[in-house]
Chains A and B, each alone.
Chain A
Amino acid sequence: MKKRTMETSLADHSPKLIRSIERRLFLRQGLSLGALVLLSGCELTDDQRVQKILTGMSRWNDSAQALLFSPTKLAPEYPESAITKPFPFNAFYSEEEVPDVDGRDYKLELAGLIRDNKPWRLPELYALPQTSQVTRHICVEGWSAIGKWSGVRFSDFLARVGADTTAKYVGFKCADQYYSSIDMPTALHPQTLLAFRYADQILPPEYGFPMKLRVPTKLGFKNPKHIMSMFVTNEYPGGYWEDQGYNWFSGS
């Protein structure tokens, strides 16, 4: 019998998503190759120029993926018996360096195209209607794990603060300096959560206290933890890994 490890293979459990991402990667690489062929008459050692063109192709690919995104298609949900224990810690720093946010004076700052940008304290956020999901977190590194997150549906929160939902992006800044952003259709997806709890407990620091964005339709790096502020904008906000060349859309 095949032994199951804690961090099960992405290919084992998410063949559809992997295939979809692989298709996009193939398309992107194909287009990148095309871009290089087009550039063959140019100075290929001009890194900046090549990088600019490849970035442009990647952004075009993002737009194509956004067009293919279905706002009603749901990510698979699982029974609680399928939850991965323990849920893996993953960050660009070690577990000992997890930011220690003080919940007593925490305020979620809002900016950009939001009517009511008064900051939110944790007791106010906890009082909003909450929902739970047991979904699979899929890391671009090639592992995945199932967990239970609870919080407020992000679309409800955006409606409550009067966010301009015709805007293109929602950006996030985090206590660990990480930053990321998502497209508005994904922000309004019914499974996108502003999560305050993991496994029915207040989100522990290692999983993103005081809150993380849980987006089961996207790869793990599009799920920022320790969110301190968010903004709605039409200006492309990028993200840390996205700015390093990872695909910005990174989802199904």
Chain B
Amino acid sequence: MLLLVSALCATAGAHAAEPSRVGVKPMKMDEPMKTGMMKPGMKVGDVRKAAEKRDRELKPMIEKESGSAKKPKDPPERRTYN
């Protein structure tokens, strides 16, 4: 019984840690962008590449800043709206 409860708790914990799901509607990465803001040759997939590059650059600092932010003793209670 204890094993079953532990297994259930572990499963629930794993679920809570999952990132938000984004549905599968694959972008056509090699297609030209669909906006007038684009420069010649820009493709839909360029955004992902740029985002990953920027993310790599920012990650060390954001982690450092996240670590330095003081944690609250009593965070305000959250209500939910159904």
Contact = CB atoms under 8 A, between A and B. Distances in A.
B59 to A, nearest CB: 10
A101 B26 CA distance: 13
A240 B44 CA distance: 12
B19 to A, nearest CB: 8
Given A107-B20, A124-B79, A126-B81, A98 B62 contact: no
A243 B58 CA distance: 14
Interface in A83-130: 90-94, 96-102, 105-107, 109, 111-118, 120-121, 123-124, 126-127
B69 A127 contact: no
Contacts, number: 143
Interface string B6-29: 000000000000111111111110
B40 interface: no
Given A177-B51, A231-B62, A127 B80 contact: yes
Interface in B45-82: 47-48, 50-51, 54-55, 58, 61-63, 65-66, 68-72, 75-76, 78-82
A162 B68 CA distance: 13
A114 B69 contact: yes
B81 A123 contact: yes
A113 B80 CA distance: 25
14 contacts: A91-B34, A92-B35, A100-B23, A100-B25, A102-B20, A102-B21, A106-B20, A107-B19, A111-B63, A117-B69, A124-B80, A179-B50, A231-B65, A234-B65
Given A112-B65, A175-B22, A243-B50, 20 more contacts: A92-B44, A92-B47, A93-B33, A97-B28, A100-B22, A100-B23, A111-B66, A112-B69, A113-B68, A123-B80, A127-B78, A127-B79, A127-B81, A160-B76, A173-B51, A176-B27, A176-B47, A177-B51, A233-B62, A235-B61
Interface of B: 18-28, 31, 33-39, 42, 44, 47-48, 50-51, 54-55, 58, 61-63, 65-66, 68-72, 75-76, 78-82
